[in-house]
Amino acid sequence: MITAAKISSKRQVTVPLKVMLRLKLNPGDQLVFEERNGHMEVKPQAEKFTISDFVNKHRGHTSKKFTDDEIRNARTEAWQESESK
């Protein structure tokens, strides 16, 4: 897919709808610009973390029921792990 966008005088770029849909982006999401082999790659900053990701990460580890605080703490740890990647 080749799609063009124009940089405004304020250095802003409007992300084309095709790109938004392809990258599964939403307004407010952040992008990362990474230089690789002489070109720039644009990608979402961090993967979105869903409750399904949490369940799959912890499935089979214990038969214990998690409290709301334990779930919040585990979610926070997972977000921090994904941001550090």
Instruction: Answer yes or no: is pLDDT of 7 > 90.
Output: yes
Beta strands in the chain (DSSP E): 31-36, 39-44
Fold (CATH) for 1-45: Pemi-like Protein 1; Chain: D (2.10.260)
Is residue 6 within 8 Å of residue 23, measured between CB atoms?
A: no
Q: Which residues of 15-35 are buried (b: 16+ CB within 10 A; e: fewer)?
A: eeeeeeeeeebeeeeeeeeee
Tokens representing residue 48 in the block: 């979105």
Please tell me the pTM assigned to this model.
0.46
Q: What is the pLDDT of residues 15-66, one digit of tens each?
A: 999 988 988 888 888 888 889 899 998 888 766 667 777 777 777 777 778 8
Would you kindly state where each structural domain of the chain is located, as residue ranges? 1-45, 51-84
Distance CA 79, CA 65 (A): 21
